[in-house]
Structure 1
Amino acid sequence: MSTTDWLKPLQHILNCPVHLVTKSLADWHDLIKDADAVWLGDKTASSIPAEGARAEKAGKTSIVIASADASVELIEIDKPSLQTSEKELISWTLQLNREPVTEKAGTAQSETERSALKLSEWIQKQLESDEPAYSLPDHLTTGSRLFNEMIPFLLVTEQTNTKQGTYAELEKLLRSFLSDDVLLIPLKSQEWLIWGSASLLRDEDAEAFEEQEDESLEDSLASIGSGLHEMLASEWIGECHLAVAYPAVPAKGMVETTILLRETLNLGRKFHVGTNIHLPWMLQLERLLNAIPETQRTKYLEQSLKRADFFVESEMLSTIETFFALDCNVSETAKKLYIHRNTLLYRLDKLKQETGLDVRQFRDAVLVKIILLLYKVTKRN
């Protein structure tokens, strides 16, 4: 009997939600470290949990149904009133079926997925180390593929559970969009490191190339990221965030690239709520502001907003953001906002009267940009 065959009956018997999820081994160890109660069965000294092992936290019980070298399959039972006898019965049943379940989990994984999980485990160790190794060890760089320059992406999904077979499904979708030369690495739950072929940046059609010859590397990467996000959001995972970075050689830059992409995604979600595609070259000012202690940022913002509440009125906020997005071009901003040029100039003059800052002047434009970024973070917090 497959997992999905008994999952619904179990949910019916317990009369509560039961979800099937896949976590990395690192995530499992984080879970049991922070859990309110833990039962590890006969593998208490092993890093790989036994079938039936349990971790309980905040009314949710997670029980292992299968484990491999770098991943753990669990059922999550969202029922605070779940009795101890019920938990023990589920664990005991999973232990009885230990051999078939483990065998099935092992055969379900492709060679590509097993290699990806080994890469994931190595990356996690380096990220947690005080002295990380930045180059992949030889046993993880079979063939020459990882020594070719590739485009890195970091995908973070919003859904709270992952269904069985997700790796294969996602890999298939990525191959259809990015070509067959794709490397997919699961990191923490809901987080995926993706490497696509650098050939995506080369347009084989001569006519199309001539039309886009002025397109920069950054524009090309942003375009690829936008298309990939649209495909994933509509065909696979729904709400998600995607960070894209400059091409790099995976064998030499796996750890550094992961760190950069995580920082980029975190900064984008922090300073630009509502944006789903995050680019490191577009977040340089945000990176600088994020390095300033929060107390100082808050103090500066309070001082500024005492005379500049006018910034955050919806109409003015939209006007300023559009003005900045179009490089402070008055004519283009008026067109984008569907207003007369004189109407735009009136709004900018009114902003100057209210705040003393003229966004048509470089110095004042920088100050207003900083104030708006800090306001968004403070308002959300």
Structure 2
Amino acid sequence: MSTTDWLKTLQHILNCPVHVVSKSIAEWDELVKNADSTWLGEQTKDTPREGQRADKGGKTWIVAGRADSIVELIEIDHPSLQTSEKELISWTLQLDRGQSAPKNTSALSETERSALKLSEWIQKQLESDEPAYSLPDHLTVGSRLYNDMIPFLLVTEQTNTKQATYSDLEKLLRSFLSEDVVLIPLKSQEWLIWGSVSLLRDEDADSFNEQEEETLEDSLASIGLGLHEMLASEWIGECHLAVAHPTTPAKGMVETTVLLRETVNLGRKFHVGTNIHLPWMLQLERLLNAIPEAQRSKYLEQSMKRADLFVESEMLSTIETFFTLDCNVSETAKKLYIHRNTLLYRLDKLKQETGLDVRQFKDAVLVKIILLLYKVTKRN
């Protein structure tokens, strides 16, 4: 069972905030020195060890594990926590970690241990009312996390399929994103990935060779497409991938995780069947998602004369292609393999039935909004 799994269970049992925090051995020693009370077991010189406790100011810290110079602590914010409850948690940690931790720790690489520490810190900040947005020093020492990197969020779909190990996924990512990659497991089917910005230079070089101008967003979308195709075919099958603008992980780890999660959720909600999600392409969806469902439904009822038009696959495909190609009639006709007059007939039909002419900017905006809202409301 992962740390985040049993952490939620313990929080439910105690009915109080419970977090996992990482401290250096020096910080743990200072905590013990200034604590209101402690329990260090029989071998007090051999610290820190699983189950050892320190209490101060209504909070309790219990050692859950140790990796190199970092101590993993369970932080319980419960001034009325009974001594018997603390002893039971300490005993459970001693029993569980005493049997399994040495074997598990030896099986983990240094990279994976660091990734798990980052994961626990991110999870704590996401659950906090006042999150810290900059990584603590002990998680960035000697790290490349101060350099700008490209963030990705990978969400897998195959819940009943055996998942690849951390090392398997890391190996695949290194083969595609170069050796300079950071992989952080968030949930059982969710991975935060940081790739080198050198990938953008490679994309720019390819674009130059092809005599094409490519924006930053175009390059990021191209990288995301290639990464998704590789992962879908070589590793996990069906999956969702979001990518955002480059940022510094040490300063933007939490905000980036929130943005990418929101991007995946919006993409899956408004664009079923799409697997690559880009935040700069979902700005209208983000705005519409903030509107209460009751108001969305009321707006649709007042705006639509012919709701069944959006059910017709032919009309739906025509409208979406028309918007994708920036309302260009000629390009849309080519994309749909139909005559220009056939396309004009369909647009005239839409105007006749709804009173909205998508060739006019103000009407095109309304149809785009109605289409997005209808998709979500229909599924709900």
TM-score per shorter chain, which class? 0.7 to 0.9
One-letter code aligned to 2:168: E
Give SS of 2:175's match. Answer: helix
Q: Which residue of the partner structure matches residue 168 of structure 1?
A: 167
User: Displacement of 1:366 after TM fit?
Assistant: 0.5
Q: Which residue of the partner structure matches residue 231 of structure 2?
A: 232
- 8 Å contact kept, 2:163–2:236: no
User: Displacement of 1:130 after TM fit?
Assistant: 1.1
Q: Which residue of the partner structure matches residue 361 of structure 2?
A: 362
Are 1:247 and 2:246 matched, yes or no? yes
Q: Deviations over 1:318-362 (max 9, x none)?
A: 100010011111111111111000000000001100110000000
Q: Which residue of the partner structure matches residue 314 of structure 1?
A: 313
Compared with structure 1, are the counterparts of its residues 32 and 160 closer, same or farther at alpha carbon in structure 2 (3 Å cutoff)?
farther
Kindly tell me the number of residue pairs found equivalent between the two proteins.
313
Are 1:262 and 2:264 matched, yes or no? no
User: Displacement of 1:314 after TM fit?
Assistant: 1.1
Q: Which structure 1 residue ranges, 5 or more long, are not aligned? A: 1-21, 36-41, 51-67, 71-94
Q: How does 1:283-302 map to 2 (within 5 A)?
A: 283-302=282-301
Compared with structure 1, are the counterparts of its residues 204 and 276 closer, same or farther at alpha carbon in structure 2 (3 Å cutoff)?
closer
Give SS of 1:145's match. Answer: coil
Compared with structure 1, are the counterparts of its residues 308 and 146 closer, same or farther at alpha carbon in structure 2 (3 Å cutoff)?
same
Q: For 2:242 and 2:366, how far apart are their aligned partners in 1?
A: 27
User: Displacement of 1:131 after TM fit?
Assistant: 1.1
User: Displacement of 1:216 after TM fit?
Assistant: 0.5
Q: Which residue of the partner structure matches residue 34 of structure 2?
A: none
Give SS of 1:127's match. Answer: helix
Q: How does 1:117-136 map to 2 (within 5 A)?
A: 117-136=116-135
* Greater mean alpha carbon deviation, residues 236-245 or residues 304-313: 304-313
Compared with structure 1, are the counterparts of its residues 260 and 346 closer, same or farther at alpha carbon in structure 2 (3 Å cutoff)?
same
- 8 Å contact kept, 1:27–1:189: no
User: Displacement of 1:378 after TM fit?
Assistant: 1.1
Q: How does 1:186-197 map to 2 (within 5 A)?
A: 186-197=185-196
Are 1:26 and 2:21 matched, yes or no? no
Counting aligned pairs with the same residue, the percent is 81
Are 1:379 and 2:366 matched, yes or no? no
Compared with structure 1, are the counterparts of its residues 212 and 148 closer, same or farther at alpha carbon in structure 2 (3 Å cutoff)?
farther
Q: Which residue of the partner structure matches residue 209 of structure 1?
A: 208
User: Displacement of 1:380 after TM fit?
Assistant: 1.5
- 8 Å contact kept, 2:310–2:316: yes
Q: For 2:174 and 2:377, how far apart are their aligned partners in 1?
A: 40
- 8 Å contact kept, 2:149–2:195: yes
- 8 Å contact kept, 1:267–1:286: yes
Q: Which residue of the partner structure matches residue 36 of structure 2?
A: none
One-letter code aligned to 2:225: S
Q: For 2:264 and 2:254, how far apart are their aligned partners in 1?
A: 15
- 8 Å contact kept, 1:126–1:133: yes
User: Displacement of 1:292 after TM fit?
Assistant: 1.0
One-letter code aligned to 1:301: L
Q: Which residue of the partner structure matches residue 273 of structure 2?
A: 274
One-letter code aligned to 1:176: S
Compared with structure 1, are the counterparts of its residues 208 and 371 closer, same or farther at alpha carbon in structure 2 (3 Å cutoff)?
closer
Give SS of 1:187's match. Answer: strand
* Greater mean alpha carbon deviation, residues 222-231 or residues 291-300: 291-300
Are 1:326 and 2:316 matched, yes or no? no
Q: For 1:243 and 1:204, how far apart are their aligned partners in 2?
A: 18
Compared with structure 1, are the counterparts of its residues 229 and 206 closer, same or farther at alpha carbon in structure 2 (3 Å cutoff)?
closer
One-letter code aligned to 1:137: P
Q: For 2:72 and 2:163, how far apart are their aligned partners in 1?
A: 17
User: Displacement of 1:128 after TM fit?
Assistant: 1.0
Q: Deviations over 1:277-320 (max 9, x none)?
A: 00000000001101111110111112233444323311100100
Q: For 2:231 and 2:276, how far apart are their aligned partners in 1?
A: 12
User: Displacement of 1:179 after TM fit?
Assistant: 0.2
One-letter code aligned to 1:284: Q
One-letter code aligned to 1:174: L
User: Displacement of 1:99 after TM fit?
Assistant: 5.3
One-letter code aligned to 1:200: L
Q: Which structure 2 residue ranges, 5 or more long, are not aligned? A: 14-49, 52-59, 66-70, 74-93
Q: Which residue of the partner structure matches residue 200 of structure 1?
A: 199
Q: For 1:362 and 1:113, how far apart are their aligned partners in 2?
A: 51
Q: Deviations over 1:245-299 (max 9, x none)?
A: 0000001111111111111111111111111000000000001101111110111
Q: How does 1:5-20 map to 2 (within 5 A)?
A: none
Q: For 1:314 and 1:288, how far apart are their aligned partners in 2?
A: 26
- 8 Å contact kept, 1:27–1:188: no
Compared with structure 1, are the counterparts of its residues 97 and 304 closer, same or farther at alpha carbon in structure 2 (3 Å cutoff)?
closer
Give SS of 2:202's match. Answer: coil
Give SS of 2:145's match. Answer: helix
- 8 Å contact kept, 1:243–1:264: yes
Q: Deviations over 1:226-258 (max 9, x none)?
A: 000111111111111000000000011111111
Q: For 2:354 and 2:204, how far apart are their aligned partners in 1?
A: 52
- 8 Å contact kept, 2:204–2:214: no
Give SS of 2:187's match. Answer: coil
Compared with structure 1, are the counterparts of its residues 182 and 366 closer, same or farther at alpha carbon in structure 2 (3 Å cutoff)?
same
User: Displacement of 1:100 after TM fit?
Assistant: 5.8
Are 1:150 and 2:128 matched, yes or no? no
Q: For 1:338 and 1:348, how far apart are their aligned partners in 2?
A: 16
Q: How does 1:64-143 map to 2 (within 5 A)?
A: 101-143=100-142
